[in-house]
Amino acid sequence: MKFFTRGDVDGFCAIALDNTVQLLLVPALCLGVLGFSPALVFGTILPGIAVSYLAGNLFYAWQAHRLAQKERRADVCALPFGLNTPTFIAYVFLVMLPAKQIAISQGAADPDKVAWQAGLVACIGSGLIEFFGAFIAERVRRMTPRAALLAALSGAGLAFLSLNFLITTFAHPVVGFVTLGLVLLFYFGGVKPRWGIPAALVVLLVGTALSWATGLAPNGPEPTDSLGWYPPLLVIGDVWRGLAAGHFWAYLPVMIPLGLLNLLASLQCIESAAVAGDSYDTRSSLLVNGASTLAAACFGSPFPTSIYIGHPAWKLMGARAGYSTLNGIFITALCLTGSMALVAWAVPADAGLAIIVWIGVIITVQSFEATPARHWPAVVLGIAPVLLMWVTFVVKNALRVAGYGSAPGQAYGDPLLGAFHASGTLVEGLFAVEQGAFYCSIVLAAVTVFIIEKQWAKAARWCFAAAGLSMIGLLHAWRFSASDTVSALPLLERITGTGARGAALFPAATYALGYAGIGVVLLLARWFTVPSEAEKPGGS
């Protein structure tokens, strides 16, 4: 098989545009939401992303050549690879932003560094899960219903991609509505631009033009001084400091579900490639996927990578191995030369947000398309906890605007609960579901699937597993800090020689009892239930 073909050029143009759109979110969220310095974003984070991109893309290109030689074929297409957008956005809002807010409330000298180090630790956790999960991925997949695997990811897509950025769409309607209309036209209307122009490129060009025309761009002076050479640097010391600060345990309820979802999504992508005729070794593909994420963290990027969906589409386009090599080189050049600063200045985030909204919608729709209709109630229930987590995020932002959690405003505490109770809102329910929302999503969806299938014992086992997670503090365990609500892990603190004793070791014990109660009910269901009329032979 040739190193480069005409189809590789087409495939490269498509995937490079897709990757560039995603990379535009890095400065948009890191500078805009997290308030990181340009030096940190363009001098450390983006070079770290370059390392992961180059390593992954070159491996998958080599893997395609190896498969082609082994099978004596010339039509092998490399697995597409890049930044994991849902996890990237989740880590911004669920790891680094809370870490920064806590650091500010505690008077940390450099809250940005604390938040970045927390992100590095989360990225390490995700990489470890993906790396070692390569050995158990098939088993986890067999044990977990598809509705449960997809619902949590759908909730994140709907909330943190679609709803989150629809707010900006309605805040800037000229740019937002027109680009959203183009996205709906091209991606749902069954049409495409003339002359073979990529749809995403049209959206970006129109969005950029409207942003400049309406004053949304440029955002500041032209960053010509950002152009230069930014070699990737090892940041093992910062990773270690993040681990020493306890970020690993604090954000484990976010890392594990997202890491498992990434692992299983990558597994599905490999299977999709096999259906298209390219049967890659599963374990090595997943191991390199995890290793690339670990490399990203070690070189300063807090954002995991993943194998992309869409291998059959790239193959139909004529792409082989060369498009992956070109993509790795192109993204590396963007990230190491400071060019992304110039691109981000010229192309504001608003120009491409409609594409991100569409990605969130597609992720959500996939859960319904990939599951039987009778399991849709499980998908909806699984989406709910992640939506509530997003609602909690919005509520906390409103509280910060009102002065809660920052000097000289009021601190978080029981009086805050009382104020919400007076308005008829049990806000502690939001605080509880926020901690371990992805676990909760998977559990609720799995239990519902097994109830629908009348597999009471399997449903009960999931309930007892949730009870165990609650008892050890990984699910629904929360406490007040001065500026927020955070995860409570007193049992872990006790094991390490500090913390509470007695009942205080189990702050989510009532939730454990609740889950265990459901499990007992399900185990006894066969003795106190009979089939409904609709379930009887001849029923309707």
Cα 226 to its chain centre, rounded Å, is 29
56, 161: one domain: yes
Among 371, 395, 418, which residue terminates a domain?
Answer: 371
* 8 Å CB contact between 503 and 513: no
Give Cβ neighbours of residue 95 (< 8 Å, ≥ 6 apart).
Answer: 118, 119, 122, 247, 251, 254, 302
Domain count within the chain = 2
* 137-149: average pLDDT: 80
In a domain, 217, yes or no: no
In a domain, 53, yes or no: yes
Range of the domain at 426: 376-529
351, 329: one domain: yes
- Is the pLDDT at 483 greater than 80? The verdict is no
87, 59: one domain: yes
Angle at CA of residue 384, ends 480 and 447, nearest 5°: 105
84 sits in the region (left: phi over 0; alpha: psi -120 to 50; else beta) called beta
Helices (H), 423-474: 427-434, 437-452, 456-472
* 8 Å CB contact between 436 and 469: yes
104, 198: one domain: yes
In a domain, 215, yes or no: no
Residue 538 binned pLDDT confidence (cut-offs 50, 70, 90)? low
Give Cβ neighbours of residue 373 (< 8 Å, ≥ 6 apart).
Answer: none
By CB atoms closer than 10 A (0-12, 13-18, 19+), residue 184 is middle
Which of 233-247, 298-312, 327-341 shows the lowest per-residue confidence on average (mean pLDDT)?
Answer: 298-312
Q: What percent of the chain has pLDDT over 70?
A: 92
> What are the backbone angles phi and psi of residue 478, rounded to the nearest 5°?
-140, 160
Q: How far apart are CA 299 and CA 51, in angstroms?
A: 7
Among candidate residues 183, 153, 150, 147, the one with its CA nearest the CA of residue 84: 153
Q: What's at 96, amino acid-wise?
A: M
Q: What's at 466, amino acid-wise?
A: A
- How does the average pLDDT of the chain come out, rounded? 86
Q: What's at 412, amino acid-wise?
A: Y
33, 124: one domain: yes
Residue 406 binned pLDDT confidence (cut-offs 50, 70, 90)? low
Q: How far apart are CA 106 and CA 424, in angstroms?
A: 31
148, 188: one domain: yes
In a domain, 535, yes or no: no
Q: How far apart are CA 471 and CA 505, in angstroms?
A: 9
pTM above 0.95, yes or no: no
290 sits in the region (left: phi over 0; alpha: psi -120 to 50; else beta) called alpha
96, 237: one domain: yes
- Is the pLDDT at 447 greater than 90? The verdict is yes
Q: How far apart are CA 366 and CA 378, in angstroms?
A: 14
Residue 540 binned pLDDT confidence (cut-offs 50, 70, 90)? very low
In a domain, 88, yes or no: yes
Residue 499 binned pLDDT confidence (cut-offs 50, 70, 90)? low
Among 371, 406, 441, which residue terminates a domain?
Answer: 371
Q: How far apart are CA 509 and CA 490, in angstroms?
A: 12
446, 386: one domain: yes
Helices (H), 5-45: 6-32, 38-40
251, 381: one domain: no
In a domain, 228, yes or no: no
> Tokens for 65?
């050549």
> Tokens for 446?
């799995």
* CB hemisphere CA count around 528 (13 angstroms): 6
Among 371, 397, 426, which residue terminates a domain?
Answer: 371
pLDDT digit string, tens, across residues 324-374: 999 999 999 999 998 888 887 888 878 888 877 887 888 788 789 888 999
> What are the backbone angles phi and psi of residue 392, rounded to the nearest 5°?
-60, -40
332, 384: one domain: no
391, 290: one domain: no
- The Cβ of residue 409 has, within 10 Å, a number of other Cβ atoms equal to 12
Radius of gyration of the chain (CA): 24
Q: How far apart are CA 350 and CA 402, in angstroms?
A: 27
**108-112, 219-223, 461-465 — which one is most confidently predicted on average?**
461-465
In a domain, 440, yes or no: yes
* 8 Å CB contact between 462 and 440: no
pLDDT digit string, tens, across residues 55-92: 999 999 999 999 999 988 888 999 989 888 778 888 99
Angle between helices 437-452 and 509-528 in degrees, nearest 10? 0
Dihedral sign for Cα 430, 434, 436, 440, please.
positive
In a domain, 23, yes or no: yes
**147-151, 300-304, 478-482, 535-539 — which one is most confidently predicted on average?**
300-304
357, 475: one domain: no
